[in-house]
């Protein structure tokens, strides 16, 4: 049974000779799914010039004709070498066809299946996680560490360096989708062509927010204590189908950053919202400033514990994860409102 952990996915795929005959790549980050699928196909085909070395199939077509996948998996390449069958999952279940392929002896064909987000109980995912000669590789939204690796890799390839404050800012502007993040980084690299180092001004001039802007607005509004404004924002994020994990990640990331800034304020090391590091986009300054007025470092530390507990509950009981996330944000907003009456020094006047 090979159910690859999200954090180990890149290391797992980096050894194509050791991979099983059937590899399912799935997840909420469609850009990352697509990137890993194409990378795996590239290293799995022995003769890329052979037009018959790669076959593309649709999952719904296989569901209608399960023997099609079995036939393709057993086809011998015309010019020898390993070939690939690339399957894009649709809305119909074709897990039985995959099981038939898994019953075959070792072959010179690798089946690469590209799918969206799948529940643990989804037949296709269950089959690939259970079989000894298959693997299921999840692709979830990049966390901060993954974004930093992505940025560093692109910078090395371009022979550029990032100033520390520019790197911190760039991390806050990326996420949500690997393809979008990589596109923004490459746009920045192109903008900085001919120079050796990239600064904050370069990042703010070029990089648009590749994550969900509605999600940023939701989190900022919650921490600013504007409870009456949360309902339409929650509806917007809900209708957009934003993954629960992305909501919690955005909230935890912003909470950690607010805590860091608030400690600096209380130590007399921070005097203005304009001096925050990493810099805050001008469109968010009002809400971030309001949050820093309403929270103390101690109360933010307590909110960290509560938010972590909410994350744990959502993971244990996925059926109520949406409700748990929304309730957590409402709780944060109400606590921020209560903090408005406290005698906290304003970040603009400290």
Q: What is the DSSP string of 44-93?
A: H-S-TT-TTSEEEEEHHHHHH-THHHHHHHHPPPTT-S-EEEEEE--SS-
**CB 312: neighbour CB atoms within 10 A?**
11
User: What single-letter DSSP state applies at residue 342?
Assistant: S
Mean pLDDT confidence for 222-251: 86
Predicted local confidence at residue 312, as pLDDT: 92
Summarised one tens digit per residue, pLDDT across range 109-167 is 899 999 998 988 999 999 999 999 999 999 987 888 888 999 999 999 999 999 988 88
**pLDDT of amino acid 1:** 52
Q: What percent of the chain lies above the pLDDT cut of 90?
A: 48
pTM beyond cutoff 0.75? no
User: For residue 20, is pLDDT > 50?
Assistant: yes
Task: Give the model's pLDDT for residue 343.
Answer: 41
pLDDT exceeds cutoff 50 at 350: no
> What pLDDT does 332 receive?
95
Long-range pairs for 269-273: beta carbons < 8 A, 24 or more residues apart: 270/347, 270/350, 271/347, 271/350, 272/347, 272/348, 272/350, 273/347, 273/348
Q: Which of 170, 235, 171, 162 is nearest to 199 (CA)?
A: 162
Confidence of residue 344 (pLDDT cuts 50, 70, 90): very low
Q: Where are the domains of the chain?
A: 6-138, 144-206, 213-339
Q: What is the pLDDT of residue 345?
A: 44
DSSP 179-243: HHHHHHHHHHHHHTTT-SEE-HHHHHHH----S-HHHHHHHHHHHTT-GGGHHHHHHHHHHTT--
What SS3 string covers 163-188? CHHHHHHHHHHCCCCHHHHHHHHHHH
The token duo for 123 is: 């037949």
Q: What is the mean pLDDT of residues 229-253?
A: 84
- Which tokens in the block code for residue 22? 């059937």
**190 pLDDT exceeds 80?**
yes
- pLDDT (mean) for 171-190: 85
Domains 144-206 and 213-339 share a fold: no
6-138: CATH, from 3.40.50.2300, 3.10.200.10, 3.40.50.2000, 3.40.50.300: 3.40.50.300
Q: In what order do the strands lie in the sheet with 54-58?
A: 54-58, 83-88, 109-114, 22-26, 134-138
- Higher-confidence residue: 307 or 210? 307
pLDDT of residue 212: 52
pLDDT score of 176 more than 70:
no
Other C-beta atoms within 10 Å of 134: how many? 24
Q: Which residues pair with 275 in a beta bridge?
A: none
Taking all residues of the chain, what is their mean pLDDT, rounded to a whole number?
Answer: 86
Q: How far apart are CA 222 and CA 123, in angstroms?
A: 38
Question: CB 253: neighbour CB atoms within 10 A?
Answer: 16
* Residue 348 reports pLDDT greater than 60: no
Band (pLDDT 50/70/90 cuts) for residue 209 is low
| CATH class, range 213-339 | mainly alpha
CATH architecture of 144-206: Orthogonal Bundle (1.10)
């Amino acid at each position: 049974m090979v159910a690859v952990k999200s954090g180990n996915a890149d290391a797992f795929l980096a050894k194509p000779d050791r991979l099983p005959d059937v590899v399912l790549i799935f997840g909420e980050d469609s850009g990352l799914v697509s990137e890993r699928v194409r990378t795996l196909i590239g290293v799995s085909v022995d003769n890329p010039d052979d037009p018959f070395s790669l076959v593309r199939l649709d999952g719904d077509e296989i569901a209608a004709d399960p023997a099609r996948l079995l036939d393709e998996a057993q086809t011998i390449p015309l010019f020898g070498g390993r070939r690939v069958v690339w399957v894009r999952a649709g809305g119909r279940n074709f897990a039985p066809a995959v099981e038939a392929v898994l019953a075959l002896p070792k072959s010179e064909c690798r089946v690469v299946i590209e799918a969206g987000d799948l529940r643990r109980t989804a037949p296709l995912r269950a089959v690939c996680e259970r079989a000894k000669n298959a693997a299921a590789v999840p692709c979830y939204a990049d966390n901060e560490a993954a974004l930093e690796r992505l940025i560093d890799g692109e910078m090395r390839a371009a022979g550029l360096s990032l100033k520390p404050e520019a790197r911190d800012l760039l991390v806050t502007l990326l996420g949500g989708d690997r393809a979008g993040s990589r596109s923004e980084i490459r746009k920045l690299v192109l903008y900085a062509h001919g120079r050796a180092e990239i600064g904050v001004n370069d990042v703010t001039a070029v990089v648009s927010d590749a994550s969900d802007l509605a999600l940023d607005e939701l989190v900022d509004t919650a921490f600013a204590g504007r409870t009456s404004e949360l309902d339409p924002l929650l509806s917007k994020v809900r209708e957009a189908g934003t993954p629960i994990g992305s909501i919690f990640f955005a909230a935890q990331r912003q909470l950690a950053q607010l805590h860091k800034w608030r400690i600096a304020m209380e130590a007399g090391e921070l005097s203005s919202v304009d001096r925050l590091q990493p810099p805050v986009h001008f469109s968010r300054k009002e809400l971030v400033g309001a949050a820093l007025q309403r929270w103390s470092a101690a109360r933010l530390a307590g909110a960290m514990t509560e938010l972590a507990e909410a994350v744990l509950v959502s993971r244990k009981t996925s059926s109520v994860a949406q409700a748990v996330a929304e309730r957590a944000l409402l709780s944060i907003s109400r606590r921020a409102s209560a903090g408005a009456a406290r005698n906290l020094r304003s970040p603009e006047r400290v």
